[in-house]
Amino acid sequence: MLAILAAACAGDDDGVEPPTRETSTASSTTPTRSASADPGKAFRELAFPADLVDGQAIGKPDAPIALTVFEDFQCPFCLRFTLLHEPVIIQEYVRTGKVRFEFKHFPILGEESGAAAVAATCAADQGLFWALHKRLFLVELEAGQLTAEKLNVGRFSAANLQRYASEEGVEPGAFGACLTSQAAADKVTAQLREAAALGLRGTPSFLINGEPVTRPPTTPGEWRSFLEEQIKASR
């Protein structure tokens, strides 16, 4: 039901060694090996503030900065961004009302990427996008996707997606029906088309207030500096 685009999963230099693969020019750099013993610790401990959740977005509607990220749940570089940078953005900028953070689907790595995107869209219909978002990325972390990329090997099979969602509190009947619905597929396809229209070439890709970020930050410190500059410029 989804038209999967041909694009690359692009890396950054945030201290976790990614798998070797061809990357786009959007955010490709040489990674380092200074990873912490548990790169998922901050993300595991992250609590998404329920009062700020709005579907696939989180944050105050009137925040001066809207940061949009286009991701693929199978992409190891999306996993790195989510583990190491998303907690900083949520805790320091979303919670404080400075940034509204939005996730958009760019499933470019095969059938299970599309299936995971549809599943997350269905969870969003029940107000549980961020719970399933967290679960799907942790599934990838625990499977070793940071250092040994494997695609379309059953992690995001229909049965597994239903199990993950149910364990995160999604009502299974409505979720199961949604997984095979054209409406859910159309929502994901619309985001794919948006990415294509913007000229995005890899994942993760970022927008600030609707404009593509050509050289995304690559460390937590760089993200802080970048966002502070954007906030200052918006005043």
Q: Give residue 53's identity as a one-letter amino acid code.
A: V
Q: Is the dihedral of CA 85, 90, 94, 95 positive or negative?
A: negative
Q: How confident is the model at residue 1 (pLDDT cuts 50, 70, 90)?
A: low
Q: Which of 137, 143, 151 is nearest to 108 (CA)?
A: 151
Give residue-wise pLDDT tens across range 119-142. 999 999 999 999 999 999 999 999
Provide the pLDDT for residue 218.
96
Q: What is the pLDDT of residues 197-233, one digit of tens each?
A: 999 999 999 999 999 999 999 999 999 999 999 999 9
Q: How confident is the model at residue 4 (pLDDT cuts 50, 70, 90)?
A: low
State pTM to two decimals: 0.89
* Residue-level pLDDT at 235: 87
In sequence order, which ranges of 37-181 are alpha helices (DSSP H)? 41-45, 76-84, 86-89, 111-125, 129-142, 158-167, 172-179
**Between helices 111-125 and 172-179, what is the axis angle to 10°?**
140
Assigned token pair, 151: 């695609």
Give the pLDDT confidence of 39-94 residue by residue, as tens digits: 999 999 999 999 999 999 999 999 999 999 999 999 999 999 999 999 999 999 99
Domain boundaries along the sequence of the chain: 54-234
CATH number of 54-234: 3.40.30.10
Q: Give the angle 99-100-106 at the CA atoms, nearest 5°.
A: 125
What pLDDT does residue 37 have?
81
Dist. CA 116–CA 113, nearest whole Å: 5
